Amino acid sequence: MSEPAEKQAFATPIDQRYFEDYIPGTTYEFGSASLTEAQIIEFAKEYDPQSFHVDPAAAANGPFAGLIASGWQTSALMMRLFAQYYLSSVASLGGPGVDELRWLRPVRSDDRLRLRVTVVDTKVSNSKPDRGLVRTLAELIDDADRPVFKATILNFLLLREREA
């Protein structure tokens, strides 16, 4: 994969975006989010009850030297930002899944994260020419400009100019 283009603002509002608006090589940054210690513990108690997610005292002596968010909570946070800022609210048809997902660094309650997306490639469907597949590299970036999460996400989107 070649180096992504310089990051820029999305020219088309989210409620007017269609397949044609997702240009391969384009990079965008959106939003800002963080998790509180209470949110980390609450999520982990329900879905990922490992000591370094639910018990601050045990976590202090654990492998991450402190409480960290579950990777699944980090994934959910990314998805919220992805849907809120990037994925079309009028043309999205869901998707067949994720090609790759990686947790690169621990996420802590004081981390501010933003979403960086790069349109990797696009392809109009051969069997359903009113839609196409967009492959996106989605990353959560911390305040030190380090990626803490990355995933390659596949989404089907309607074309603006639909063929009969």
**For the segment 64-98, what is each residue's pLDDT rounded down to a tens digit?**
999 999 999 999 999 999 999 999 999 999 999 99
Quick check: is 56 in a domain?
no
Quick check: is 48 in a domain?
no
In 3D, which of 102, 109, 113, 114 has the Cα closest to residue 68?
A: 109
Quick check: is 82 in a domain?
yes
Domain of 97, in residue numbers: 14-33+70-158
pLDDT at 7: 59
What tokens were used for 136?
A: 């996106």
pLDDT at 9: 76
Quick check: is 116 in a domain?
yes
Sign of CA dihedral 56, 62, 65, 69: negative
pLDDT-flagged residues of the chain (< 50): 1-6, 164
Quick check: is 151 in a domain?
yes
What CATH number has the domain bearing residue 119?
A: 3.10.129.10
Quick check: is 53 in a domain?
no
In 3D, which of 33, 24, 19, 31 has the Cα closest to residue 3?
A: 24
Quick check: is 3 in a domain?
no
Quick check: is 52 in a domain?
no
Q: What pTM value is reported for the model? A: 0.91
The residues near 149 (Cβ < 8 Å, ≥ 6 apart) are 71, 74, 75, 78, 101, 102, 103, 104, 107, 139, 140
Domain count, the chain: 1
How far separated are the first and last CA of the chain, in Å rounded? Answer: 34
pLDDT at 4: 42
- Give the distance from CA 53 to its chain's centroid: 21
pLDDT at 10: 85
Beta-bridge partners for 138: 117, 151
